[in-house]
Structure 1
């Protein structure tokens, strides 16, 4: 008795290739969007931790009896958080610097923004005020002004989303360029701006 060998016909092979092509066509767009989803998740994670830490600092200020600082102007109010000295605005209790005793929410610098992130976040991501350092630093920060209230705010850009820009972003570019979160020391608010298309 002879065994008859059977294989796939050309039609069956074509059908299998077409089905695989359709599956690949459906899956590829999903995988190409993974990097923007990862950028959004990274930004949201750091911003969420930052907002929680701001709330903890504010709570410590309340527990310390709402110190006003030495000058009474709102500058120089000290709060100790896990043996790390922070300066808060003496009128609101929200952090304004990790090292500048004269800082309050109307005279902050980008260096104050760096020190806030490094002081309130345990294992904080790297942050810089120098746009040229973005190849090795995760966040770029600068100070902008809240046009409605007149106080300064810290803008923290996720470096991967702006490192291909020719110049450092200007005051309100976070609304249109890159992914950033903005910290407002007047009210402790942290808002996220994602510009992924």
Structure 2
């Protein structure tokens, strides 16, 4: 019973202190924090898919909007707990665009171009493109190992001036391939 009384007195005391602070003396500082969730798909170790030593995480979905014209498309090598890989295996990741890096409208055959860039260790952007017809050599994202677990890349939407009659959903498919080295 004595403890409950003390708590009641402390709360009443705090309310008294708060109620005696003039409003014009209260100041506040506001900060914003950006919250990010990376929506990725895992591609398992191709030599051991049932008990993989690592996974390569690639973008699961890249959705452009007028406000979001630059999208993180980074690729990483992780262990099965989602942490950066620290084992001995090495892998090469390549990518190919179904529509040669253009979003196509399925009804009216219009296209909106976009670019896929990968960044080297100095931060220089390298344009990725299909180098041969579909099914041929693909653009290399990079070689991954415990010493290189991530390649920063970015998809950037091109000019999107679209006539009213052509408004709709435009899409492309990126195919990532992982091979052990």
Scaled by the length of structure 1, the TM-score of the pair is 0.24
Higher RCO (CA 8 Å, separation ≥ 6 residues): 2
Scaled by the length of structure 2, the TM-score of the pair is 0.26
Q: By percentage of residues, which structure has more strand? A: 2
Q: By percentage of residues, which structure has more helix? A: 1
